[in-house]
Amino acid sequence: MHGKGPSPLVIDTDPGIDDAVALALAIRASSIGVAAVVTLFGNTSLDAATRNARVVAALAGDDDARVRPGSDRPLVGTPDADPTRHGPEGIGYAPVPPAPPVTANPTALLDVLADQPPGVLLVTLGPLTNLAHALRTDEGLVRSRVHLHLAMAGTVRARGSPARAADFNLWADPDAADAVLAANPGTRLVPLDLTRQARVTPAEVRRCSASRDPLVRWLGEALRFSLERASDGVRQGVAVSDAAVVAAALVPAVLAFEARRLKIGGRNTDQRGRLIEDPAGHTVEIATHIDVPRVRHILGRVLPIETKSGGR
């Protein structure tokens, strides 16, 4: 996974179906190299998330030994995964072996960053717990290594789900999110309002499941689970939010950002984890526009996406 370029890519993730698509895209399409993958609780348990990331890496032809387990719980309280979101194994219908137990290491991301040169592009696709632990332990080291932090995190106008005001990542650990926004190690937020626009159509999911490429076929079985559970799936397809963020890491021009003052809704409120504009909040850059056709073109580097010519 370790690339030769000056800006290695480190991915912090909780696979998760769209996380798996994102990781596959990063491994197969990145010109800067995926230096390491750090896992954590979120869409599923730490054990299952780590197993899922290693399966994706192996199918993509990469070194699954560079996948390191991180946090197994939020900064405060216990994890609250919803097995109906991504299936009992966290990866839909995609076949996986039993998940061996792993040892949680809340400072795994810090360990990874310590091994990297300055200029790391850090992409977080799950709760921000690992990054919060790293900042608490050695903020100076994080700042010396991370050039840019892209986070799939937050909602602005849309609800995270019928049951939650916030997106899952910030809802799962609002204390970690607040700590990261306060420190702001080059953080740019990519909210669910935008990433939901990046979808894989039902026909494209079917082509994935029929692919001769083992990785693409496996991803198709994961996506089929999401498609069947999406209320609008038959018509619009399934959102691949995390993959849209990786697409932006590969081609930054697909997003436009603005600086906003934001705070995180408190853990014990009905706004838990929600991004709230507040003059006294933390100044953070947040994406306000996404070039969906271009994102879909980038997704075509790993999935059989129908794109118009000229969408590079």
The amino acid occupying position 242 is D
Q: How do the pLDDT tens digits run along the chain, 312 residues long?
A: 544 445 789 999 999 999 999 999 999 987 767 999 999 999 999 999 999 999 999 999 887 779 999 999 999 988 876 656 889 999 999 999 999 999 999 999 999 999 999 999 999 999 999 999 999 999 999 999 999 999 999 988 777 776 777 899 999 999 999 999 999 999 999 999 999 999 999 999 999 999 999 999 999 999 999 998 876 545 678 999 999 999 999 999 999 999 999 999 988 888 889 999 999 999 999 999 999 999 999 999 999 998 765 444
Residue 268, domain extent: 9-200+240-294
- Residue 166's pLDDT is 86
Give residue 311's pLDDT: 43
CA dihedral 172, 178, 183, 184 (to 10 degrees): 70
| Cα–Cα distance measured from residue 150 to residue 11, given in angstroms and rounded to the nearest whole number | 10
Contacts of 246 (CB under 8 A, 6+ apart): 11, 22, 23, 25, 26, 123, 125
Does residue 225 fall inside a structural domain?
no
Q: What is the pLDDT of residue 206?
A: 95
CB atoms within 10 A of CB 256: 12
- Whether residue 206 lies inside any domain: the answer is no
- Please tell me the total count of domains within the chain: 1
Q: Is residue 307 part of a domain?
A: no
Residue 303 placed within a domain: no
Would you say residue 210 lies in a domain?
Answer: no
Task: Report the CATH number at residue 280.
Answer: 3.90.245.10
Residue 54 lies in a domain: yes
* The pLDDT of residue 235: 64
Residue 16 lies in a domain: yes
CB atoms within 10 A of CB 153: 31
pTM over the 0.75 mark: yes
* Contact status, residue 78 vs residue 42, Cβ threshold 8 Å: no
Residue at 218 is within a domain: no
